[in-house]
Amino acid sequence: MNYQPGNRPSRRRAPWIIGAVLTAMAITFASVMIISSGGSLSNDGEPDAAEDAMGVVNGAVAISGTALPTVPQAGADPALGRAFPSLQGTNLFNGSPLTIGADGRPKIVIFVAHWCPHCQAEVPVITQWMAEHGKPHDVDLYAVSTAVAPERGNFPPASWLQREKWPIPTMADTTDGNAFKAAGLTGFPSFVVLDAAGNVLSRPSGELSTRQFELLLAQARS
Amino acid sequence: MHGAEAAQTATVRSVAHVDVTSISLFFALLAVLGGAAAVAVLAISFVASNAVVRLRHDVADAALPLALLVAATCTVGSLYYSEVMHYTPCKLCWFQRIFMYPLVVLLGIAVARKDRSVRRDVLPLSLIGGAISIYHYQLQRFPQQRTSMCTIDAPCTAKEVEQFGFVTIPMMALVGFALISALMFCLHGAARTAASATPIDEPETS
């Protein structure tokens, strides 16, 4: 017999379908909670190896000097020629003191955020370049890990950079991103190119190609 | 910061991190199941065999409360991320909210009134919302197309949540919109079958 809407079965199945969906949701929720509670048992006691490997997340940064003006959306950068403030903070990887300041050598300071996809793309580019060319002998490279937000993924930043074999000394910025603010930056990744006197030569931002990175090195040397 | 205070902060952060991971896993599993359900519902909405037509009518009978459940779950999920976990919604997230939140009210009223004609109001919202979700999701996958840098506030390219390597918040929203749309298509298909079998115009109530 062909099914017709007029002779639909007397037993309505809608309540069963809704009940089955609600049951499936409840089972899914219960399963996730059971798995989560089982996984967290090991965290009730002493810090485990994963917590030890987290490294420094944020650190205190002492800033000497005047903060740079904010990078304009268009037009000339008002920070060009101005002195970059000295940053005294903590090494992201081992907690040792790290200073980024005028010491008679040109520098490039790279600001990265662990959750930013463009930073995640840029880090391997620079890592690869350094693996091929080695550490520049006449330009110092530093990085600052800033804008830490565990909920945004790829956390903690030290694990990410170690996983990428990041070869550049990296400072942990404060929770409020004071080093980032002192540099007057607005996005990630950002690069601050400094001459030997510690004055700003340029502040480009965004993903750079290998060629563009080499141009920044040349600019720092000039 | 004192040592004890730092330890307390770290503990709170750790607990919150576990919680959001568990909740995100729950929503991600729902998204996977919901995606499969959306494909199945869409399939039975357009296949004409007798067995499928019967199943279509069974699902159509439950379509309004199920769609309400999906919209309510998506709404609760988005509010959890923004109000409990304090994630800042980006511009595209807000656009998707604009199309999802009204569905709870629309479908709630329709369930109370047993008004199947609400599909005509729901479908435009769910389809447009789904299109925005697709755009947002591909922007997360290929972030270079809009800009080559992130801003500090709430970039649309950032992935606050990623489970199984592919389920992000826009993907969850996309599944929600797709499942609601599929249920509305199922209602439409059942109504057309009923109309073709019953020459008399019947009010579209279940």
**Domain spans, chain B:** 21-44+54-196
**pLDDT tier at B197, thresholds 50, 70, 90:** low
Nearest-angstrom CA–CA distance, B106 and B170: 22
Both A87 and A29 in a single domain? Answer: no
Instruction: Quote the pLDDT of residue B198.
Output: 56
Residues of chain A contacting B59 with CB distance shorter than 8 Å: 17
Note whether residue A3 is domain-resident: no
Residues of chain A contacting B17 with CB distance shorter than 8 Å: 150-151
Note whether residue A139 is domain-resident: yes
Considering only CA atoms, which of B63, B66, B174, B50 is closest in space to residue B116?
Answer: B63
Would an 8 Å CB–CB cutoff place B24 in contact with chain A? no
What's the mean pLDDT when you consider all of chain B?
85
ipTM for the assembly: 0.76
Cis, bond preceding A72 (omega within 30 deg of 0) = no
Tell me which of B19, B111, B149 to substitute to probe the interface with A (most A C-beta atoms closer than 10 Å): B149
Distance in Å, alpha carbon of B178 to nearest chain A alpha carbon = 17
- Domain B21-44+54-196 classification at class level: mainly alpha
What DSSP character marks residue B82? I
**Segment B113-167, tens digit of pLDDT:** 999 999 999 999 999 999 999 999 999 888 877 778 888 777 888 888 888 989 9
What DSSP character marks residue B121? H
For the purposes of burial, counting CB atoms within 10 Å of the CB of A160, is it exposed (0-12), middle (13-18) or buried (19 or more)?
Answer: buried
What DSSP character marks residue A75? S
Both A67 and A17 in a single domain? Answer: no
Q: Determine, for residues A36 and B150 on separate chains, whether the beta-carbon distance falls below 8 Å.
A: no
Q: Determine, for residues A119 and B33 on separate chains, whether the beta-carbon distance falls below 8 Å.
A: no
Which residue ranges of chain A lie beneath pLDDT 50?
A: 1-10, 40-52
For the purposes of burial, counting CB atoms within 10 Å of the CB of B145, is it exposed (0-12), middle (13-18) or buried (19 or more)?
Answer: exposed
On the question of pLDDT at B7 being above 60, the answer is: no
Percent of chain B's residues with pLDDT above 90: 55
Note whether residue A6 is domain-resident: no
Per-position b or e across B146-179, b if 16+ CB within 10 A of its CB: ebbbbbbebbbbbbbbbbeeebbbbbbbbbbbbb
Instruction: Quote the pLDDT of residue B205.
Output: 53
Nearest CA in chain A to B144: A118
- The full length of chain A comes to 222
Number of independent structural domains in chain A: 2
Average pLDDT over residues B55-71: 94
Q: Domain residues for A24?
A: 11-45
A199 - beta bridge partners?
A: A83
Both A40 and A127 in a single domain? Answer: no
Q: What is the CA radius of gyration of chain B?
A: 20
